[in-house]
Amino acid sequence: MPKKLLLALAALVSFSALAIAGTTGKIVGTVKDAETGLPLPGVNVILTGTTIGAATAADGYYVIPFVPAGTYTLRATIIGYTAYEVTQVRVNIDLTTTINISMKSEVLTGEEVVVVAQRPVVQKDVSASTANLNIKEVEALPIVRLENVVALQAGVRYGDDGIIIRGRVTDNTASQTAFVVDGITLRDERDNKPYTAISYTAIEEIQIQTGGFNAEYGNIRSGVVNVTTKEGSKDRYSFGMISRYSPAAQKHFGPSPHDRNSYWVRPFVDDAVCWTGTDNGAWDEFTRKQYAPFEGGWNAVAQARLRDDDPTNDLTPQALQQLYLWQHRRQLDIVDPDYDFDVSLGGPVPVIGKALKDLRFFASYRTSQDMYVIPLSRDGYRDYNMQLKLTADITPKMKLMIEGINGRERGTNNNNAGLPGLFRSTGSIASALNRVSYIETRMFNTDYWAPSAITRNSIGAKLTHVLNPSTFYEATLHYFRSKYDTNPGRPRDTTPRYEFGDGYLVDEGPFGFYAFPAPGLGTPDFRMGFGMSNSRDSSKVGVLAAKFDISKQMGRFNQVKAGVEYVYTDNNVNYAQWDYYLPDNNSLSTWHTFPQRGALYVQDKLEFEGMIANLGLRLDYSHAGGDWYVIESPFDPAFSGAKADGIDTLLSKTATERKFSLSPRLGVAFPISVNSKLYFNYGHFRQLPTPDDLFLFRRSASTKEVVRIGNPNNPLQKTVAYELGYEHNLFDQYLLRLAGYYKDVSDQPRLVRYRSTRNAVNYQITEPTNYEDIRGFEFTLSKNRGNWFQGFLNYTYQVNTFGNFGFAQYVDIRSQQQIYENDTRTHYQTKPLAQPFARANVYFFSPSAFGPQVAGWHPLENWRLNILASWSSGAYYTPPGGANITEIQNILHWKNFYSVNLRLSKTFRLANADIQLFMDMNNVFDIKYMSQGGFVDAEDYERYLKSLHYPEAVGNTLRNFDAGYSPVVGDDRPGDYRTVPYEPYDPNDPDEARKQRILETKAYIDMPNQEFLTFLNPRDVFFGLQLSFNLF
């Protein structure tokens, strides 16, 4: 980082944040005389325990702007009237809370009036689909991670790559969402994805906005998750903890992957075939197809060793089998538990807190462990996070917040190309073992993928200053750093010390990393060395950003906010794909760049009785920095291996372009009545491409040729979004929301290949030619008030169309290019296919003091049962070999997915502590859903598809394509399975009872060969404890 920026960070640390966003709301209302109905001027309205307040004007109206999100008690006082207090006044981010007050004369009553605020079911000043949640609303759910809470909203999904809002599930879609904590955006600019692993017990409020966000939000295109964390109290200490534990259990149905009857083991240990081979006739044809072939058996392997020129490797068949078992000895079952542990403590800083302007702290620690379905280079995913928030009131109108976060993820890298990413879910590992080469190697070796760790540090502060009752500013500066460490694990101990047969010694393989050939016994795909743990990553990325915002309440109806932002990035990226033994595919990707970007914005919130409008305009500036190549011909021989060493002299360079973009934002809400409203929003949203798409310059380590380059002059990706919605209050208990949206996405990078046989050029470059249209409809019905039960139901229907301008490849020989253009479909627009999904939640609870009292205790009070169900439509697939045949594209529709989870809990009150014992149960009904993993190869997959009995129209189309598909008409879909031993179905069988039994049990289906990956995620039970109390 340049020296000037280091000095700036030291000087301005009290103003830090990466991207400051709205963290306040406001309270408005009218105070009247309860008897006459006339307005009362001069009433003091304050939030107790704070210095925040206002006085009513001549018309009795008051406004308290810039209130930090949270829950307050509001108190109104004036001489001659009884004080009026409203509890549970909730303020949400960027929203207005209305509290109207009727005060009685002291002559009529001498006691203070206390009421509990009731939030309106329909929030009239919201002009987008928004969910505002406090921690009380989500703590009963059978989840303990913030990202899972967000993923329950309509239009939102969560996968290994992160939170996806109203978009396709692709590698980069998660980067389109902003994750904002206390006004600070947490984003790892190594891949532009948000960092969301914060403490659950530290959360105060959550706002999830899936469209129509204001002009203050930049570098995003899909949604905003705004989180406000707890602040330490000035006069007491608070403690919170949530912990849950699931004993070690398998994450798949069926036998262990190293069971003696599994695909990879049985052919080598079953006495019926292991000595003389699976082709010896002992197994029928169907059984042979279910297992790895082993021609000739151990006898043939022993004979081959006797015939070779190496007398030291001669072993008997029995010794060879023992050696095989040694090489496949790896424990593939889960032996450690899953757990989550989250604890927090807050309060005044001891001893010095009062002297330092009521300095208070809130500290939290979170750790979790998720074991992999089978162990990889590490046996599970682990996450650690520590947070510390310090707050001080410099003056009654000035507050300083300093917040630090340290997080670390550890797991197994999910690729062998050096790219960022960790295996997390069971499904992602199953996909990596499905229809690929070297599955046996991936399973039984300890180091096929490299271990990886990602460390992220964040330090920031925010200064807020109320200049006067109507003007407020925030100044921020923040530094976020990520560090990657992906390298092979411990090296193999190659000392021969384990004896088999008569003096044949071997080392510990396949345990430990070994970069050179080491053949193993088993299928031809099994090896114990080279081609593994090829990922290398030592990247370090730091981001320093500053922002200044000022807000002003201009009269009763108008609140204006403006801001300026500057972001400086230190991209020190260094990753590689590296194989010591086979260097031909080695590549090194490095860059050290210092891009800058900035923004100016202004937004205006107009609040009238019949319309609330949010108007905004944002100007974004982006500059990649440095110089870049001037490519006059994409086939220039400077890209070839023969000349690429001199590319800096062969191609001229020029300064990279400075990019400017103007983004209008508009949101309007029309209250139709006190119970309903219409809302509409429209906006342009811009976002940086990934660093690889901008800065990558990759050369082959062996041929020296350029194989891939980015383009720092690529434009900002653009999304133009529209949303129309309607909300209605039903029975003062339920909120009904209907929303439709459309997103026009353009300028997205994609890889285009340029190939020249004349100049020996063959490389890919990113070009902004990908586009996308996203259309969707959402239905939400929620109930977050009332006794006995609450819950929600939402449904999302979305279709995506995407395509590319131009072709994915260009060749300098016209005849070759013409052949390619005639055959390719890369420029075709995809057909829109809907994959709707839905969630339902019902939360039953018994109130305090419910039921009979026993020894001063109500055994039936404070019980909670929370049921969470999810459903999603299955994906569409094209049969193997049919990608270019229109009639069968996406003809196969996988079965729909559904699951039910629950939490059962009981809360006790002991002194000033709340103690909750709970049990979380995932997949309550132990539903077996056939995953799309488990297939060994394409032949295994095709046998399964061809064994199904499809509906007549689908079956006829498939048989016209391939006569091997079953002619039997039925109602099967991919995802159907049998639960009984296999029996072939013969329509000519005279035994009608047998035919009927086979059809009913689907015994005719040829199941995937890797049984342990066919059905994932059986019932899983966590036992937990939640504890909270105040001290002093």
Check residue 702 and give its pLDDT.
85
Work out the pLDDT band at 22, boundaries 50, 70, 90: low
- Report, as an integer, the average pLDDT of 229-236: 91
Work out the pLDDT band at 108, boundaries 50, 70, 90: low
The total of other beta-carbon atoms located within 10 Å of residue 157's CB is 21
What is the b/e burial string over 111-124, where b = at least 16 CB atoms within 10 angstroms of the residue's CB? eebeeebeeebbbb
DSSP 631: -
- Report, as an integer, the average pLDDT of 233-262: 94
From residue 528, give the alpha-carbon distance in Å to each of 265, 516, 825, 959. 17, 9, 40, 42
Q: By mean pLDDT, which of 85-94, 446-455, 659-668, 792-801 is the weakest?
A: 85-94
- Residue 126 phi/psi, 5° resolution? -100, 125
**Vertex 225 angle, CA 223 and 228, to 5°:** 155
Work out the pLDDT band at 857, boundaries 50, 70, 90: confident
Check residue 109 and give its pLDDT.
52
Record the pTM: 0.90
- pLDDT of 522 above 60: yes
- pLDDT of 11 above 70: no
Q: Where are the beta strands (DSSP E) in 691-788?
A: 697-700, 706-709, 717-730, 734-756, 761-783
Check residue 596 and give its pLDDT.
95
- pLDDT of 822 above 70: yes
- pLDDT of 784 above 90: no
Q: Is the peptide bond before 510 cis (omega within 30 degrees of 0)?
A: yes
- pLDDT of 110 above 80: no
- pLDDT of 179 above 60: yes
- Report, as an integer, the average pLDDT of 448-455: 97
**Burial label, 959 (beta-carbon count in 10 A; 0-12, 13-18, 19+):** middle
- Report, as an integer, the average pLDDT of 507-525: 93
- Report, as an integer, the average pLDDT of 162-174: 82
Task: With beta carbons less than 8 A apart as the criterion, state whether 651 and 637 touch.
Answer: no
- pLDDT of 494 above 80: yes
Residues 475, 572: Cα–Cα separation, whole Å: 28
Check residue 621 and give its pLDDT.
96
Task: With beta carbons less than 8 A apart as the criterion, state whether 910 and 991 touch.
Answer: no
Check residue 82 and give its pLDDT.
86
Residues 452, 487: Cα–Cα separation, whole Å: 7
List the structure tokens of 37.
């109905």
Reported as a single tens digit per residue, the pLDDT across 296-340 is 999 999 999 999 888 888 999 999 999 999 999 999 999 999 999
Work out the pLDDT band at 94, boundaries 50, 70, 90: confident
Residue predicted with more confidence, 537 or 786: 537
The residue extents of the domains of the chain are 11-116, 837-976+1008-1032
Kindly report the average pLDDT of the chain as a whole number: 91
- pLDDT of 9 above 50: no
From residue 611, give the alpha-carbon distance in Å to each of 453, 528, 670, 730, 787. 51, 69, 5, 21, 33
CATH topology of domain 11-116: Immunoglobulin-like (2.60.40)
Percent of the chain with pLDDT over 70: 97
What is the DSSP secondary-structure string of 438-482?
Answer: -HHHHHHSS-SS-EEEEEEEEEEEEEEEEEETTEEEEEEEEEEEE
